[in-house]
Amino acid sequence: MPNLDSKIVLVTGGARGMGACHARNFVDAGARVVIADVLDDEGRSTASELGENALFVHLDVSSEQSWTDAIEAARSHFGSVTSLVNNAGIELAAPLHETPVEQWDKVIDVNLKGVFLGIKAVIPDMLSAKSGSIVNIGSGAGLIGYENMSAYTSTKAGINGLTKTAAIEYGKHGIRVNALHPGIVQTPMLKDTMDSNADLKQILNDSVKFQAIGRMGETNEISEVISFLLSDRASFVTGVSLPVDGGLILGRATPLA
């Protein structure tokens, strides 16, 4: 396991799903972790399970003021944030021409503007420290296309451009910025998506069936790679767009009979 001993990691969307698993993994690796989410009850309960090295703060990633408040709360409890995982996200399943503009805007605000605001919020302390590591969570769906997911795939594709540009701007200051694209992983978000749209459920099940590694991912399989990217073992890795997806985007494999 990579060593995150001296790290203070803020993980957005850390109350449940993959984010909660990431938080657990970071604490196990020695980090102090700030779980930041809009889900106050679940966030507090996840943090309290992890003990004194975890703190919950309320954060709406789409609000710049909320970021200012969360970073200040983290700083006064643990110190300056050294590492950020922009994991919070929402999904929207609808045909493009039936996607209401307000819902499109909401997905962009959380999934893409939220990542921009997160980077903007942590960079001043990282510049002072001349070090830092940021991991932005995209999606395999943003590296290809997915029927009925135009808003979601657009935000996840946008994360690539943001990540590469931030990596170029801040590499000279000792700050690394990478993007990690999970494949299909069983979480509350995936369940909601599958329950809300039968066509998309079929598409996702087919994706898994014809993947090189023909099963869904486990949350821990994503957390392990993020821990590596945050750690000093990844000191020469920046600007990558890394799928951790069981081969989702490779093309179809024939399943074993």
DSSP 105: H
What H or E segment, with its residue span, contains residue 110?
Answer: none
Residue in 152, 153, 179, 245 annotated catalytic: 152
**146 catalytic, yes or no?**
no
Minimum gap (Å) between residue 173 Cβ and ligand NAD? 26
| List of residues contacting ligand NAD (CB under 6 A) | 12-13, 15-19, 37-39, 59-62, 87-90, 110, 137, 139, 182, 184-185, 187-190
Q: What is the DSSP letter of 2?
A: -
Alpha-carbon span 76 to 64, nearest angstrom: 19
Q: Are 2 and 133 in contact (CB under 8 A)?
A: no
Nearer to ligand NAD, 91 or 228 (CB): 91
Q: Identify which of residues 133 and 207 has a Cβ nearer to ligand NAD in the complex.
A: 207
In the bound complex, what is the minimum distance in angstroms from residue 128's beta carbon to ligand NAD? 25
Round to whole Å and give the CA distance between 165 and 168: 5
In the complex, minimum distance from the CB of residue 136 to ligand NAD, in angstroms, rounded to a whole number: 9
20 or 254: whose CB is closer to ligand NAD?
A: 20
Q: 3-state SS of the chain: helix, strand, coil percent to 5?
A: 55, 15, 30
Catalytic residues: 152
